[in-house]
């Protein structure tokens, strides 16, 4: 591939990394507006991260090298996952390196190390958070894979780039199975990012926290990296859902105007999805932990319905 | 895969079919009575939309009467009647006891798969692009049956019965572009009469047994 393609690909990944705190801040801001609060400015997460990076790292004496390595590992794996998502242009050279199953694998790898680090110090919260995280992920992963397989069967490819390209170049048509795959992926995204019906990112209440419980022992730059990684993961899910189901506007050719249009539409789509997420979080209450399997099995059933719908209605 | 050759109307019908199947799943998952009735009304609305699309696309104008009947009966009359009943019998807050929710959902998915294989030979007979909807309508009928056998409250069983009727109606409209007018009128009347009869029976069961739980109907009662 040509050099400009690689530069663009690197630029796209860098953009996603830099944009991640902004999306998180935007969601928080919209949510505050919904609840009649003034709310922090949308770029507040950048300040938080900068503050954490300046702070000293405090670590327990018993911490093993694994505990020390996990933040760097989780962050770099999430960055790798973000590099294979087509954000504002298709046909970038990084897209052919890995497909969507590898992306799910990246998330699983990051989660594995995060759980190990949670249990490393032997504190009660870390172990509890890790066990909850594993329980939930064992329910979300099949639903996510199934909804992705539904898309893959329609496009006869598991490559994200090829999927987006296919939707953009083919004449417009309604796929019933996509509605279900989209709904399922939304539910999975909410569960994976630890958003409201499953987990509340804003509290440290011991009864409810999942993701926050695992990273409770981290401080300083380690905590900053983990927070940043989880923001990036949410951005990846947002971009994925936007671009798989509403890919219009994404640049087909690597030209300046097309890329500008791609960037603009990506921004609008992300703002839209952030708005929807904030609205749903203001309306819904957090679910009891023991009821989350019901919601996630609903996500699985919807994904299964999408696949059945594809087989029954779309294959002739 | 030649999905592309379908016209927009056919795509819309297939999407509506998928949504109808989805509402059936929602009915199975729902445990609150009032929400259940609302979902049932939504399914009726989807059926109405399907009938309307087919009536206009294929120029079957007698289907418009059928669509009006669907709108009047299944979207407004029966749900409102059921809602009134539920309010009057004061079982609004009652949460249904279902066996094992996930197990029932997986059974439902298996039923969809079964109906797909069951109608494969029938599919070969039809040349319509929307012939695939036969499998969906059979699945809706079977899911209605599952709703009936998996719940204990009589109201839900009525909704299940109406859901089965929705499935049959959907098969008639989407797969064969409508039945003769007389048959459709008859079916609509049947449903109306059934709804009224069920309403009367609810009160009878209620005064006799003091509950709408059909498990209690097994209890022997001395006749005075």
In angstroms, the separation between the Cα of residue A193 and the nearest Cα of chain B is 24
Cβ contact A312–B15 (<8 Å): no
Structure tokens at A55: 């702070």
Q: Does the residue B224 lie in any domain?
A: no
Q: Does the residue B160 lie in any domain?
A: yes
What is the domain extent for residue B170? Answer: 7-218
A11-56, pLDDT tens digit by residue?
A: 999 999 999 999 999 999 999 999 899 889 999 999 999 999 999 9
Rounded Cα–Cα distance for residues A116 and B144 (Å) = 46
Q: Does the residue B60 lie in any domain?
A: yes
A44-54 helix and A220-245 helix, angle to the nearest 10 degrees = 150
Q: Does the residue B223 lie in any domain?
A: no
Among A173, A180, A302, whose Cβ lies nearest the Cβ of B3? A173
Q: What is residue B1's predicted lDDT score, i.e. its pLDDT?
A: 44
Q: Residue A290: pLDDT above 70?
A: yes
Chain A residues in contact with B28 by the CB 8 A cut-off are none
Nearest chain A residue to B111 by CA distance is: A308
**Residue B209 · residue B216 · CB < 8 Å:** yes
The total domain count for chain B is: 1
Among B15, B101, B116, whose Cβ lies nearest the Cβ of A174? B15
B62-116, pLDDT tens digit by residue?
A: 888 888 888 988 899 889 988 888 888 777 666 666 677 788 888 999 999 999 9
Q: Does the residue B110 lie in any domain?
A: yes
Burial of B23 (0-12, 13-18, 19+ CB in 10 A): buried
A231-267, pLDDT tens digit by residue?
A: 999 999 999 999 999 888 888 887 888 889 999 999 9
Q: Which H/E stretch holds residue B55? A: helix B33-57
Q: Does the residue B23 lie in any domain?
A: yes
Rounded Cα–Cα distance for residues A69 and A117 (Å) = 9
Rounded Cα–Cα distance for residues A79 and A16 (Å) = 9
**Gyration radius of chain B's alpha carbons:** 18
**Residue A316 · residue B3 · CB < 8 Å:** yes
Which of B14, B165, B85 lies closest to A315, judged by CA?
B14
Count interface pairs A-B at CB distance under 8 A.
Answer: 73
For the entire predicted model, the pTM comes to 0.88
In angstroms, the separation between the Cα of residue A312 and the nearest Cα of chain B is 6
Q: How many CA atoms lie within 13 A of A101 on its CB side?
A: 6
The interface predicted TM-score of the complex, written ipTM, equals 0.81
Rounded Cα–Cα distance for residues A276 and A119 (Å) = 35
Q: Does the residue B65 lie in any domain?
A: yes
Q: Does the residue B98 lie in any domain?
A: yes
Rounded Cα–Cα distance for residues A120 and A122 (Å) = 6
**Can you say how many angstroms the Cα of residue A148 is from the centroid of all Cα atoms in its chain?**
14
Structure-model confidence comparison of residues B159 and A208, the more confident one: B159
Q: How many CA atoms lie within 13 A of A281 on its CB side?
A: 26
């Amino acid at each position: 591939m040509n050099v400009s393609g690689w530069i663009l690909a690197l630029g796209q990944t860098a953009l996603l990394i830099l944009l991640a705190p902004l999306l998180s801040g935007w969601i928080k801001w919209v949510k505050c507006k919904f609840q009649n609060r003034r709310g922090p400015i949308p770029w507040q997460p950048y300040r938080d991260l900068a503050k954490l990076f300046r702070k000293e790292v405090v670590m327990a004496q018993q911490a093993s090298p694994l505990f020390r390595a996990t933040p760097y590992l989780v962050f770099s794996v999430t960055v790798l996952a973000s590099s294979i998502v087509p954000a504002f242009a298709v046909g970038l050279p990084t897209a052919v390196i890995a497909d969507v199953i590898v992306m799910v694998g990246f998330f699983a790898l990051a989660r594995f190390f995060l759980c190990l680090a949670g249990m490393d110090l032997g504190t009660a919260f870390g172990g509890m958070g890790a066990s909850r995280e594993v329980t939930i992920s064992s329910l979300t992963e099949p639903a996510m894979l199934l909804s992705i397989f539904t898309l893959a069967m329609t496009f006869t490819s598991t490559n994200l780039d090829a999927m987006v390209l296919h939707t953009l170049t083919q004449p417009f048509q309604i796929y019933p199975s996509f509605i279900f795959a989209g709904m399922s992926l939304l539910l999975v995204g909410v569960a994976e990012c630890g958003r409201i019906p499953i987990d509340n990112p804003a509290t440290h209440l011991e009864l409810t926290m999942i993701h926050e419980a695992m990273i409770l022992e981290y401080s300083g730059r380690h905590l900053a990296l983990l927070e940043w990684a989880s923001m990036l993961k949410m951005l990846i899910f947002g971009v994925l859902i936007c671009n798989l189901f509403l890919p219009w506007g994404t640049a087909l050719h690597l030209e300046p105007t097309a890329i500008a249009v791609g960037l603009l539409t990506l921004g609008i789509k992300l703002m839209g999805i952030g708005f929807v997420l904030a609205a749903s979080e203001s309306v819904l209450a957090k679910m009891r932990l023991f009821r989350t399997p019901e919601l996630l099995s609903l996500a699985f059933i919807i994904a299964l319905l999408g696949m059945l719908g594809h087989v029954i209605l779309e294959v002739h | 895969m030649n999905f592309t050759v379908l016209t927009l109307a056919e795509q819309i019908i297939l999407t509506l079919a998928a949504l109808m199947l989805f509402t059936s799943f929602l009915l199975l998952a729902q445990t609150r009575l009032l929400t259940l009735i609302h979902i049932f009304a939504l399914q009726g609305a989807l059926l109405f939309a399907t009938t309307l699309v087919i009536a206009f696309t294929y120029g079957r104008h007698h289907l418009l009467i059928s669509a009006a009947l669907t709108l009047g009966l299944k979207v407004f009359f029966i749900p409102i009647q059921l809602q009134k009943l539920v309010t009057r019998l004061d079982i609004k807050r009652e949460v249904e006891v279902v066996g094992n929710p996930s197990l029932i959902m997986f059974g439902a998915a298996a039923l969809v798969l079964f109906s797909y294989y069951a109608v494969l030979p029938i599919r070969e007979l039809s040349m319509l692009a929307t012939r695939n909807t036969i499998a969906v309508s059979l699945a809706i009928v079977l899911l209605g049956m599952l709703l009936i056998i998996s719940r204990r409250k009589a109201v839900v069983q009525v909704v299940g019965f109406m859901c089965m009727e929705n499935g049959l109606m959907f098969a008639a409209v989407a797969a064969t572009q409508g039945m003769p007018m007389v048959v459709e009128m008859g079916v609509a009347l049947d449903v109306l009469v059934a709804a009224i009869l069920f309403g009367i029976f609810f009160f009878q069961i209620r005064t006799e047994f003091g509950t709408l739980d059909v498990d209690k109907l097994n209890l022997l009662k001395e006749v005075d």
